[in-house]
Amino acid sequence: MIEHKNYQCEVCGATYADPQVAIRCEASHILPKKISNYKYDSFVNRRFPEYITVTFADGSILLYKKGVLGNDIN
């Protein structure tokens, strides 16, 4: 039997044989800090916002639009 030891990025789930590569992967992700704004559509599926604006830890701000992915995005 051969044992394999892998290291997993806690942010994206990628696995690596080298722990330093996994650490670099984790450090490469810019994490969301807060949802700074959101907008609901007044006519269609008002349950969830149509747009959200996310502010990231490095100060970047991105706008995301709702799409159809299904019930499970994992």
Answer whether 53's CB lies under 8 Å from 38's CB: yes
What is the C-alpha separation between 54 and 15, in angstroms, rounded? 27
Output the pLDDT for position 21. Answer: 98
- Helix ranges (H only) for the chain are 19-28
What are the extents of the domains in the chain? 1-30, 31-69
Reference 19, options 3, 5, 7; nearest CA is 7
Query: Which two tokens mark 17?
Result: 């044989």
Residue-wise pLDDT for 8-31, tens only, equals: 999 999 999 999 999 999 999 999
Do the beta carbons of residue 50 and residue 41 sit within 8 Å? yes
pTM: 0.71
Residue 15 pairs in a beta bridge with: 8
